[in-house]
Amino acid sequence: MVAEGVISEEEAVERIEPMQLDSLLHPTLDPKAERTIVAKGLPASPGAAVGEIVFNPDEAEKLAAQGKTVILVRIETSPEDIHGMHAAAGILTTRGGMTSHAAVVARGMGRPCVSGAGTVHIDYDAQIMSSGGETLKKGDIITVDGTTGQVLKGEVAMIQPELTGDFATLMVWADKLRRMGVRANADTPRDAVQAREFGAEGIGLCRTEHMFFDHERILAVREMILAESEEGRKAALDKILPMQRDDFTDLFEIMKGLPVTIRLLDPPLHEFLPQHDEEIAEVAEALGTSAKKLNYRLGELKEFNPMLGHRGCRLAITYPEITEMQARAIFEAAADAGQKTGDPVDVEVMIPLIAAREEYEFLSEKIIAVADAVQGEKGVKLNYSIGTMIELPRACLRAHEIAISAEFFSFGTNDLTQTAYGLSRDDSASFLGDYIARGIFEVDPFVSIDTLGVGELMEIGIKRGRETRPDIKLGICGEHAGDPASIDFCEKLGLDYVSCSPFRLPVARLAAAQAALRGKKAKS
Amino acid sequence: MVAEGVISEEEAVERIEPMQLDSLLHPTLDPKAERTIVAKGLPASPGAAVGEIVFNPDEAEKLAAQGKTVILVRIETSPEDIHGMHAAAGILTTRGGMTSHAAVVARGMGRPCVSGAGTVHIDYDAQIMSSGGETLKKGDIITVDGTTGQVLKGEVAMIQPELTGDFATLMVWADKLRRMGVRANADTPRDAVQAREFGAEGIGLCRTEHMFFDHERILAVREMILAESEEGRKAALDKILPMQRDDFTDLFEIMKGLPVTIRLLDPPLHEFLPQHDEEIAEVAEALGTSAKKLNYRLGELKEFNPMLGHRGCRLAITYPEITEMQARAIFEAAADAGQKTGDPVDVEVMIPLIAAREEYEFLSEKIIAVADAVQGEKGVKLNYSIGTMIELPRACLRAHEIAISAEFFSFGTNDLTQTAYGLSRDDSASFLGDYIARGIFEVDPFVSIDTLGVGELMEIGIKRGRETRPDIKLGICGEHAGDPASIDFCEKLGLDYVSCSPFRLPVARLAAAQAALRGKKAKS
ipTM: 0.85
Residues 6 or more apart in contact with residue A83 via CB below 8 angstroms: A57, A58, A60, A61, A426
| Weakest-pLDDT range from A193-207, A417-431, A471-485, B483-497 | A417-431
Is the pLDDT at B517 greater than 80, yes or no?
yes
- Higher-pLDDT residue of B192, A274: B192
Residues above pLDDT 70, as percent of chain B:
98
Query: How far are the Cα atoms of A352, B2, B115 from residue A262, in angstroms, in the given order?
Result: 10, 66, 47
B246-266 residue pLDDT tens? 999 999 999 999 999 999 999
Q: Does B308 sit within 8 Å of A308, measured CB to CB?
A: yes
Q: Are A36 and A153 in contact (CB under 8 A)?
A: yes
Q: Does B422 sit within 8 Å of A419, measured CB to CB?
A: yes
Which whole number is the average pLDDT over B57-79? 90
Which whole number is the average pLDDT over B23-35? 83
Q: Which one-letter amino acid corresponds to residue A104? A: V
A378-412 residue pLDDT tens? 999 999 999 999 999 999 999 999 999 999 999 99
Q: What are phi and psi of A427, to 5 degrees?
A: -100, -5
Instruction: Name every chain B residue with its beta carbon within 8 A of the beta carbon of A304.
Output: 306-307, 424, 426-427
- Locate the chain B residue with the closest alpha carbon to A430: B310
Q: Are A84 and A61 in contact (CB under 8 A)?
A: yes
CA B476-B479-B483 angle, to 5 degrees, is 90
Number of H helices, E strands in chain A: 21, 21
Q: Exactly one of A313, A396, A477, A490 is catalytic; which is it?
A: A477
SS3 state at A170 = helix
Is the pLDDT at A283 greater than 90, yes or no?
no
Give the span between the Cα atoms of B203 and B146, in whole angstroms: 29
Residues 6 or more apart in contact with residue B110 via CB below 8 angstroms: B22, B25, B26, B45, B47, B501, B503, B504, B507
SS3 state at A517 = helix
Q: Considering only the beta carbons, identify the residue of A304, A420, A456 that sits closest to B426.
A: A304
Is the pLDDT at A95 greater than 90, yes or no?
no
B286-339 residue pLDDT tens? 888 898 888 888 888 888 899 999 999 999 999 999 999 999 999 999 999 999
Give the span between the Cα atoms of B426 and B81, in whole angstroms: 9
Shortest Cα–Cα distance, A435 to chain B (Å): 8
Q: Are B224 and B269 in contact (CB under 8 A)?
A: no
The strand pair at B128-131 and B134-137 is best described as antiparallel
Report, in angstroms and rounded to the nearest whole number, the Rg of chain A calculated over CA atoms. Answer: 23
> Global pTM?
0.85
Q: Does B438 sit within 8 Å of A317, measured CB to CB?
A: yes
Count of C-beta atoms within a 10 Å radius of residue A73: 29
Count of C-beta atoms within a 10 Å radius of residue B452: 14
Is the pLDDT at B15 greater than 90, yes or no?
no
Q: What integer best gives the mean pLDDT of chain A?
A: 91
Count of C-beta atoms within a 10 Å radius of residue A519: 15
pLDDT of residue B79: 65
Q: Are B358 and B395 in contact (CB under 8 A)?
A: no
Is the pLDDT at A269 greater than 80, yes or no?
yes
Which whole number is the average pLDDT over A102-119? 83
- Which of B314, B358, B400, B464 should one mutate to test binding to chain A, selecting the residue with the greatest count of A CBs within 10 A? B314
Give the span between the Cα atoms of A251 and A210, in whole angstroms: 14
Confidence band of B384 (pLDDT split at 50, 70, 90)? very high
Q: Which of B113, B101, B125, B122 is nearest to B151 (CA)?
A: B113
Q: Which strands form B113-115's sheet, in the order they lie side by side?
A: B37-40, B150-153, B141-145, B48-54, B70-74, B90-93, B113-115, B42-45
Give the span between the Cα atoms of B290 and A467, in whole angstroms: 62
pLDDT of residue B253: 96
Q: Considering only the beta carbons, identify the residue of A358, A422, A456 that sits closest to B353.
A: A422
Q: Considering only the beta carbons, identify the residue of B308, B394, B434 that sits closest to A318.
A: B434
pLDDT of residue B439: 87
- For chain A, how far is it from start to end, CA to CA, in angstroms? 26
SS3 state at B444 = coil
Is the pLDDT at B206 greater than 90, yes or no?
yes
Q: Is B133 exposed, middle or buried (0-12, 13-18, 19+ CB in 10 A)?
A: exposed
Q: Does A419 sit within 8 Å of B355, measured CB to CB?
A: no
Is the pLDDT at A128 greater than 70, yes or no?
yes
The strand pair at B259-263 and B158-159 is best described as unpaired
Is the pLDDT at A156 greater than 80, yes or no?
yes
Enclosing H/E stretch for A244: helix A230-255
pLDDT of residue B22: 67
Q: Are A134 and A38 in contact (CB under 8 A)?
A: yes
SS3 state at A403 = coil
Return the half-sphere exposure (C-beta side, CA atoms, 13 A cut-off) of residue A432: 20
pLDDT of residue B347: 98
pLDDT of residue A501: 85
Instruction: Name every chain A residue with its beta carbon within 8 A of the beta carbon of B315.
Output: 431
Which whole number is the average pLDDT over B506-514? 95
Cα diameter, chain A: 75
Is the pLDDT at B2 greater than 90, yes or no?
no
Which whole number is the average pLDDT over A355-367? 98
Q: Is B447 exposed, middle or buried (0-12, 13-18, 19+ CB in 10 A)?
A: middle
Q: Are B348 and B386 in contact (CB under 8 A)?
A: yes
B437-451 residue pLDDT tens? 888 998 889 889 999
Catalytic, B477? Answer: yes
- Angle of helix B413-421 relative to helix B454-468, nearest 10 degrees, comes to 120
Q: What are phi and psi of A113, to 5 degrees?
A: -150, 135
Residues 6 or more apart in contact with residue B376 via CB below 8 angstroms: none
Count of C-beta atoms within a 10 Å radius of residue A379: 7
Which whole number is the average pLDDT over A356-379? 97
Which whole number is the average pLDDT over B123-129? 93
Number of H helices, E strands in chain B: 21, 21
pLDDT of residue A82: 78
Is the pLDDT at A430 greater than 80, yes or no?
no
Q: Are B272 and B208 in contact (CB under 8 A)?
A: no
Confidence band of B12 (pLDDT split at 50, 70, 90)? confident
Instruction: Name every chain B residue with its beta carbon within 8 A of the beta carbon of A57.
Output: none
Q: Does B362 sit within 8 Å of A309, measured CB to CB?
A: no
Q: Which one-letter amino acid corresponds to residue B97? A: G
DSSP letter, residue A311: -
Confidence band of A39 (pLDDT split at 50, 70, 90)? very high
Is the pLDDT at A493 greater than 90, yes or no?
yes
pLDDT of residue B167: 85
pLDDT of residue B373: 98
Residues 6 or more apart in contact with residue A334 via CB below 8 angstroms: A248, A252, A345, A347, A382, A383, A384
pLDDT of residue B23: 63
Give the span between the Cα atoms of B501 and A103, in whole angstroms: 51
Q: Are B120 and B92 in contact (CB under 8 A)?
A: yes
pLDDT of residue A474: 98
- Locate the chain B residue with the closest alpha carbon to A453: B394
SS3 state at A74 = strand
Is the pLDDT at A313 greater than 80, yes or no?
yes
Which whole number is the average pLDDT over B224-237? 91
Q: Does B303 sit within 8 Å of A307, measured CB to CB?
A: no
B343-374 residue pLDDT tens? 899 999 999 999 999 999 999 999 999 999 99
Which whole number is the average pLDDT over B15-37? 83
Count of C-beta atoms within a 10 Å radius of residue B483: 27
Q: Which of B520, B518, B512 is nearest to B495 (CA)?
A: B512
Is the pLDDT at B512 greater than 90, yes or no?
yes
Q: What are phi and psi of B184, to 5 degrees?
A: -120, 150
Q: What are phi and psi of B425, to 5 degrees?
A: -60, -40
Count of C-beta atoms within a 10 Å radius of residue A270: 19
pLDDT of residue B442: 86
Which whole number is the average pLDDT over A476-485? 92
Is the pLDDT at B17 greater than 90, yes or no?
no
Confidence band of B274 (pLDDT split at 50, 70, 90)? confident
Confidence band of B20 (pLDDT split at 50, 70, 90)? confident
Confidence band of B459 (pLDDT split at 50, 70, 90)? very high
Helix locations, A79-134, DSSP H: 82-87, 101-109
B401-430 residue pLDDT tens? 999 999 999 999 999 999 999 999 878 877
CA A87-A89-A92 angle, to 5 degrees, is 100
Instruction: Tell me the torsion sign for CA atoms A136, A137, A139, A145.
Output: positive
Catalytic, A101? Answer: yes
Is the pLDDT at A108 greater than 70, yes or no?
no
Residues above pLDDT 90, as percent of chain A:
64
Tell me the β-bridge partners of A395.
none
Confidence band of B108 (pLDDT split at 50, 70, 90)? low
SS3 content of chain B, % helix, strand, coil (to 5): 50, 20, 30
Instruction: Name every chain A residue with its beta carbon within 8 A of the beta carbon of B392.
Output: 420-422
